[in-house]
Structure 1
Amino acid sequence: MVMSDPGAKSDDAVRREASDWVALIHDADAAVDRAAFERWRASDPRHAAAYARAERAWDSAALLGQTSFGRARSLPERRRFFDRPQVRYAFAVAAVLVVAILGLSVSGVGLFRPHPSSQATELASRVGQIRQVALADGSTVTLDTDSVLRIAFTGTERRLYLSRGRARFVVAHDAARPFVVIAGNGSVTARGTIFDVAVADNRVKVVLLRGIVEVRDGRPSAVTAQPAIARLSPGQQISFGTAEPLVAPQPAATIDAQWTAGMLSFDSTRLADAITQANRYSRAKISLADPALGDLRITGAFHSGDAVGLAESIAESLGLRAAKTPQGDVVISAPPSVPAT
């Protein structure tokens, strides 16, 4: 890779070089001269900033390739795309363009490193925090924003109670001790698998990423007088409420699996629903000046902890306006109409 004099380069040239480095570093078949990369990054303050932006764009573009929006526009999913060596180096530039077109707001994830919690009986996460914890049995749990989980392990069962929020469980195999998550009026049982459980608005949602789990809604069936049971396969989800029977599993959206990376991913999602999700991650709240705007659809990946940046990106992509209030919140509104002349 040929580099010109740093002081003579345009910003466009810096962005192109950053994109080239991102593609090269992510290419498993390429021989990367790390010393040359570090010299390039340190030679101009713009280099490090441009590289960080290109790296974030790379990851966000891979997420979008999995959405219906991305598939309709032939945006590549990263794994399949890398199997074509002739286009590996062009992908970073495409990733930056995708982010620019969709108005994405991406930044650092802010995850916590796992730490032992064998003595803990209750885990909690703050608003905007994504917290990963190692459990005493070798399993791990990742808590989404504003979540509460109680642990009650015994010699015969690993039982956990999710009372609020969402959690991802990566379960260590132990045939002698089932892993049971209690949520709402139901439960999820697994012995070695990866799955999400969310509790919101008196409803429970279970998404299975790997393995097999059994979901029980806790109420006796009208036919058998026993709790209804559903078995999920990877890529399926199921939800139930206090006044609804357990329904058949449904396909889970691929983008639902990305929340642990600190990203909110929307695939033709109602703006009102997207804002509801975003407001869970920040004390600064986003609102709509006109409720009718809530029916607009939004597609993209956004950093979950930046309410202002997210609102500005959404507004830009939909041709709306975002204004910050004196209290630090953000209001999205339609642009003023131009009076007829």
Structure 2
Amino acid sequence: MTSSNSDPLEQIRAQAVAWLARLRGPTGAVDHAAFEDWYCADPRHADIYDALLDSWDATEQLPPSRSDDDRSRGSATRAVLVGLLAASLIAIIGAGVWTQYLDRDQRSASPQLASRYPGERRETAPGHIETIRLPDGSRVTLDTASRIDLAFSGTERRIHLISGRARFAVAHGDPRPFIVTAGAQDVVAHGTLFDIFLQDERAAIALIEGKIEVRRTDHDGASRFLAPGEVMRVERSGPLPRPEPDRSAIQDWPSGMQRFTDASLESVAAACNRYAAHGPIIVTGALASKRFSGTLDVRDTRAAAQLLASAMGAKIEVAADGAIRLIEQ
């Protein structure tokens, strides 16, 4: 998968040609995982491969699929066809169709470019935090029990946050808008870093760096911009609220550590329970309204419960089902 040409784009072009030939060949299914790694390793890989694939499909020269009988007696012919495929692709590129990559704006304006991830869903299990690298170089970190749908196309980079929390680190340099749909609003990013926490279609949107615009997707169509350090808490319906400065709402949650300031013990337990793979923390009675300030590793429910019990002067009882109950002494 390497090229002796010193031009990096020529090397990537040769690699893309070789990958397309391999994926259309008899070992395509086996090679797909390695191809995914190559495709996501550099945004240029995705750009060049996609442009190459669109150019080839437009020529309608791909060999027709063959029956099992044909394949059983045609291994030599298959090798020749794959070789011809690679040679034809090189000829197509040399003929000038490669301007699709050189003119990114023109390429991105083409509605025929389908997503490489049409409706693909990614989700995390309770207690897990995962970072996903997207084809454009952007990164999405999914909090525990969170779900997104990816829908990149030639005209936009769109993600649907279905539930939970996600941090979006948006790559610069791609002319396609980066849009996250969460509840009844779209968040349009401009090369930035931001969080969205969605619960029951209520969204808390926090901007860490850069610039974002929040737009209603209903008939209202209103929009507001956020500045770094601002948070917007949006209800299911009604007008968009004004963003508020609140840097305390911006947490280092991707590390698993969460900071609480004068929070009720009930709300702290609820935050920990989002990560509980087994028994939750249960707080009842007067203990639930007591206030807690501090930092917890919410991924370790038992350790968090022990720290809370120590801070509140409570004791712990563990039920047969794994539930951890905090009880006043």
The interval holding the TM-score normalised by the smaller chain is 0.5 to 0.7
What is the alpha-carbon distance in structure 2 between the residues aligned to residue 153 and residue 173 of structure 1?
Answer: 16
What is the alpha-carbon distance in structure 1 between the residues aligned to residue 238 and residue 135 of structure 2?
Answer: 35
Letter in 1 for 2:210: G
* Residues 215-240 of structure 1: per-residue CA shift (max 9 Å, x gap): 0122334xxxxx11110000001021
**TM-score normalised by the chain length of structure 2:** 0.62
Q: Counterpart in 2 of 1:37?
A: none
Range 256-265 or range 126-135, more displaced? 256-265
Contact 1:217 1:240 in 2 (8 A): no
- The question of 1:237 aligning with 2:231 is answered yes
Q: Counterpart in 2 of 1:174?
A: 173
Q: Which has the higher contact order (CA 8 A, sep 6+)?
A: 1
Q: Secondary structure at the match of 1:220?
A: coil
Q: Counterpart in 2 of 1:286?
A: 281
- The question of 1:246 aligning with 2:240 is answered yes
Contact 2:272 2:298 in 1 (8 A): yes
**Unmatched 5+ residue regions in structure 1?**
1-114, 222-226, 336-341
Superposition pairs of residues 20-35 of structure 1, within 5 angstroms: none
Kindly state the Cα deviation for residue 256 of structure 1 after the two structures are TM-superposed: 2.9
Report which of the two structures shows the higher radius of gyration computed on alpha carbons. 2
Q: Counterpart in 2 of 1:320?
A: 314
* Residues 70-101 of structure 1: per-residue CA shift (max 9 Å, x gap): xxxxxxxxxxxxxxxxxxxxxxxxxxxxxxxx
Specify whether residues 294 and 253 from structure 1 end up closer, same or farther in structure 2 by C-alpha distance, changes over 3 A only. farther
What is the alpha-carbon distance in structure 1 between the residues aligned to residue 186 and residue 249 of structure 2?
Answer: 24
Contact 2:182 2:201 in 1 (8 A): no
Q: Counterpart in 2 of 1:154?
A: 153
Contact 2:183 2:201 in 1 (8 A): yes
Kindly state the Cα deviation for residue 255 of structure 1 after the two structures are TM-superposed: 5.7
Superposition pairs of residues 193-232 of structure 1, within 5 angstroms: 193-221=192-220, 227-232=221-226
Q: Counterpart in 2 of 1:48?
A: none
Q: Counterpart in 1 of 2:191?
A: 192
What is the alpha-carbon distance in structure 1 between the residues aligned to residue 305 and residue 237 of structure 2?
Answer: 35
* Residues 192-244 of structure 1: per-residue CA shift (max 9 Å, x gap): 000011111220111000000000122334xxxxx111100000010212133
- The question of 1:295 aligning with 2:294 is answered no
Specify whether residues 240 and 255 from structure 1 end up closer, same or farther in structure 2 by C-alpha distance, changes over 3 A only. closer
Q: 1:265 aligns with which of 235, 256, 259?
A: 259
Specify whether residues 142 and 164 from structure 1 end up closer, same or farther in structure 2 by C-alpha distance, changes over 3 A only. same
Q: Counterpart in 2 of 1:164?
A: 163
Kindly state the Cα deviation for residue 325 of structure 1 after the two structures are TM-superposed: 1.1
**TM-score normalised by the chain length of structure 1:** 0.60
Q: Secondary structure at the match of 1:266?
A: strand
Contact 2:124 2:130 in 1 (8 A): yes
What is the alpha-carbon distance in structure 2 between the residues aligned to residue 255 and residue 321 of structure 1?
Answer: 30
Q: Secondary structure at the match of 1:254?
A: helix
Superposition pairs of residues 83-122 of structure 1, within 5 angstroms: 116=40, 120=117, 121-122=120-121
- The question of 1:329 aligning with 2:323 is answered yes
Superposition pairs of residues 32-51 of structure 1, within 5 angstroms: none
* Residues 307-328 of structure 1: per-residue CA shift (max 9 Å, x gap): 1111111011011112111111
Contact 2:265 2:283 in 1 (8 A): no
Q: Counterpart in 2 of 1:309?
A: 303
What is the alpha-carbon distance in structure 2 between the residues aligned to residue 286 and residue 296 of structure 1?
Answer: 15
What is the alpha-carbon distance in structure 2 between the residues aligned to residue 256 and residue 286 of structure 1?
Answer: 24
Kindly state the Cα deviation for residue 146 of structure 1 after the two structures are TM-superposed: 0.4
Q: Counterpart in 1 of 2:250?
A: 256
**Unmatched 5+ residue regions in structure 2?**
1-36, 47-115
Kindly state the Cα deviation for residue 175 of structure 1 after the two structures are TM-superposed: 5.1
CA-atom RMSD, angstroms? 1.7
Kindly state the Cα deviation for residue 140 of structure 1 after the two structures are TM-superposed: 0.5
Letter in 2 for 1:288: V
Contact 1:128 1:305 in 2 (8 A): yes
Q: Per residue, is there more helix in 1 or in 2?
A: 2
